[in-house]
Structure formats: structure tokens, C-alpha cells
Amino acid sequence: MATIKDVAKAANVSVASVSRYLNAPDMVKAETRQRIAEAIKRLDYSPSALAVSMRTRQTQNIALIIQSITNMYYIDLYGALLEAVDRYGYSLSLFTTERSESALRKTIDNVTRNNYAGVILGFLDEPGVQRDLERLAQTLPLVLITCDPSQATIDNIFLDARDGISVATAHLLSIGKKRIAYIGAAPNSVISTEKYIGYASTLEKAGHVPDPKLVFHGLRQHFSTGMEGTAGFLALPRRPDGIVCATDDIGIGSIKQLLVGKVGIPDEIAVAGFNGISVLHSYEPELTTVVQPVQMMADTAMHMLMDRVKGVPPRAIRRLVVKGKLTVSNSSVA
């Protein structure tokens, strides 16, 4: 690969002029510009991003840290972010933690050492990492996408999951369901608690008493959790007539189990999920869900990041609150 020195020599100018040509073209005379341009083309030169970053202490890379790529929601988030990031001329790297704190710490180290321009962190729920995150936020621009309402020390986009699950639950109630079950995942995390509260409080408000036998918590945010939970409900002497699922993946699994068990959807049992992942439309019946404005969330996250990169705002913490929107399909209304 040709370097700036080679270009300078070929164009018979100093490296400084070539650098100027690259970064502030009108500071160099038209004729010189011509010569440099030609040399660059001839040598097929393109500046080393490494060297530029080294000198300017900035890169054009954004990191997205999520738990696992098997969770389809993250794929949508990633896709949305990819677009947003691209629009700013940055590129995006993906890191997964698989819910391990040590993996997260390793990733944080990686990201700082590589001078990423910023980091976006999607719905991590490792409990003991708030401190690490705060330290990270001190080092470089960081935006959290979170369901934790108490997050106040780091820029974040707060998705009201409690509200989302509440809306889903209320919907099942509104279509006349009386025994509504709940399937969650990732117990002991803030997000899990929030969602469960959304479910339980809505039932209570409607005069129902949440039945512990109608609540199942799996480990993974994965359709297998939905299948497992639903299979358990079907074995009950008194089956539920509705199932609220913490995520769409889980809802898909629930529906699959109902189909396998030849249970009528939505007559016998209706199902609702949460997230609004795009592949939902490839299933039949389609899952009623609470759709998140993922693209908007991604855009905003990127925007917040860029503000920090440019040091625009004062040191205040930024926060965006978003809620999902109920989208009814034939898993709850025929």
C-alpha cells in the first residue's frame, strides 16, 4: 500500500501539502491540487485509517454490545442502527456478551483500546456492571438502551417495558380473556421485574388475582422458553385462556406449542408478545404484539452519541422515553 510519503514524492510536494489536499483542499493551489490528485490516482492511495485515528485520537467506528444474536429483536436493532450509523459515515461492530459479566468487561476493554468513537449498549441485564458502565461512560461516548427506569447516570433511551406488557395484558382482558398467563425470561433482572409488574398490576387493576401457576420464567429469551412454558400451562387442570409473553420470540414459541397441541388460537387461548420484531409477519397466525419504534430509537441513540463525540451539550445526562404501540393480529383476534 502506498503511503502519504509516496504520494508526496510522486507529486513533488511535501507530505504536509498532501495532508492539506486531503483535509482542506482549498488551502492548496489549484495546480498543485491537480498534481496531487493525479499522484493519488496513479498510486491508488487511500490514507491509513489507523494512522489517522492514531493522530486525531478518533475513529469512525461505533460498537453495539448486546447479549446474544440468537435473539431476533437484536437483529432488528442492529439493522436499524446499521442504517443510522451509515448515515453519519461511521461503521458498526457487534459484540455479544451472552449474559456473562466477564465477557462484558473484556468487550469494554476491547472497545476502549480500539478507540471506538462511541458505544451503544442494548438491554444488558448483567446486574453487577453499573460501575463498569459508568467508568466506560467517562472514557467514551456511551448510550444505553434500557428498560431500567432508575438509570440516571448515563445517557439512555428508556423503553417502558412495564407499560408495554401492561398494554398487552390489558388487550387480552379487553377481548374477554379471564385467565391470563405470563411467560418471562431472564429472571432476577430489572427488565424481567419491570415486565412482570406490568403484567401483575394490570391484572390486579382489573380485579383479578395473579395465579402463580400461570407464571413461568425461562432462562433464555428464545422461542424454546415459550414452548416450555406453554406446554406446562396446557398440562394444567385449568388451562389459561390467554398468554402474555415477555418477548416476541417467546410468543412465537408459545404459538408453536399451541399449534402442535391443536389448541384453537385465539378462541381457546390468545397470545400476545412484546417487541414487534420484523419476522413476525412470516408466521401464521401472526402474533399480536407491542411494537417498538426501533428505527427511531436507533436514530436517537446515534444522535446522542454524535452529540457527545462533538462535545456539543453540557455535561447533562440525556434521556429519551419511548413506549410501544399495540398491534393486533390473529393470535388474539380472529
Partner DNA sequence: CCTCTCAATGAAATCGATATCATTGCTTTC
Partner DNA sequence: GAAAGCAATGATATCGATTTCATTGAGAGG
Residues near DNA, by CB under 7 A: 1, 3-5, 12-20, 22-23, 27-29, 31-32, 45, 47-48, 50-52, 54-57
Contact flag: residue 93 with a copy of itself (CB under 8 A): yes
C-beta of 39 vs 144, nearer to DNA: 39
CA distances for 315 relative to 91, 137, 141, 155, angstroms: 26, 12, 12, 10
Contact flag: residue 51 with a copy of itself (CB under 8 A): yes
CA Rg, the chain, in Å? 25
C-beta of 38 vs 284, nearer to DNA: 38
In the list 16, 27, 94, 321, the residue contacting a copy of itself (rule: CB under 8 A) is 94
Contact flag: residue 259 with a copy of itself (CB under 8 A): yes
In the bound complex, what is the minimum distance in angstroms from residue 25's beta carbon to DNA?
10
DSSP string across 235-264 = TSSS--SEEEESSHHHHHHHHHHHHHTT--
In the list 41, 113, 131, 315, the residue contacting a copy of itself (rule: CB under 8 A) is 113
In the bound complex, what is the minimum distance in angstroms from residue 290's beta carbon to a copy of itself?
19
With the CA atoms of 166, 68, 100 and 303 taken in that order, what torsion angle do they form, in degrees rounded to the nearest 10? Answer: -70
Q: How many C-beta neighbours within 10 Å does residue 160 have?
A: 18
Q: Which of residues 123-152 bind a copy of itself (CB under 8 A)?
A: 139
C-beta of 90 vs 216, nearer to a copy of itself: 90
DSSP string across 60-128 = SEEEEEES-TTSHHHHHHHHHHHHHHHHTT-EEEEEE-TT-HHHHHHHHHHHHHTT-SEEEEES---GG
Question: Which region, judged by CB under 8 A, interacts with a copy of itself, from 9-17, 43-51, 182-190, 204-212?
Answer: 43-51
Paired sense of beta strands 270-272 and 319-322, if any: unpaired
Contact flag: residue 100 with a copy of itself (CB under 8 A): no
**What residue spans of the chain are helical by DSSP H?**
4-11, 15-23, 30-43, 49-56, 72-87, 101-113, 130-139, 161-174, 190-205, 223-234, 248-260, 294-309
Q: Are 64 and 78 in contact (CB under 8 A)?
A: yes
C-beta of 84 vs 252, nearer to a copy of itself: 252
C-beta of 46 vs 153, nearer to a copy of itself: 46
Q: From a copy of itself, DNA, none, which one binds at residue 28 (CB under 5 to 8 Å depending on kind)?
A: DNA
Q: From DNA, a copy of itself, none, which one binds at residue 3 (CB under 5 to 8 Å depending on kind)?
A: DNA
Contact flag: residue 50 with a copy of itself (CB under 8 A): yes
Q: Are 172 and 332 in contact (CB under 8 A)?
A: yes
C-beta of 42 vs 281, nearer to a copy of itself: 281
Any residues with CB less than 8 A from the CB of 164 and at least 6 apart, and which?
195, 198, 274, 290, 292, 323, 324
Could you list the residues that contact a copy of itself (CB under 8 A)?
1, 46-51, 53-54, 59, 61, 69-70, 72, 75, 78-79, 82, 91-96, 109-110, 112-115, 139, 223, 249, 252-253, 255-256, 259-260, 278-279, 281-284
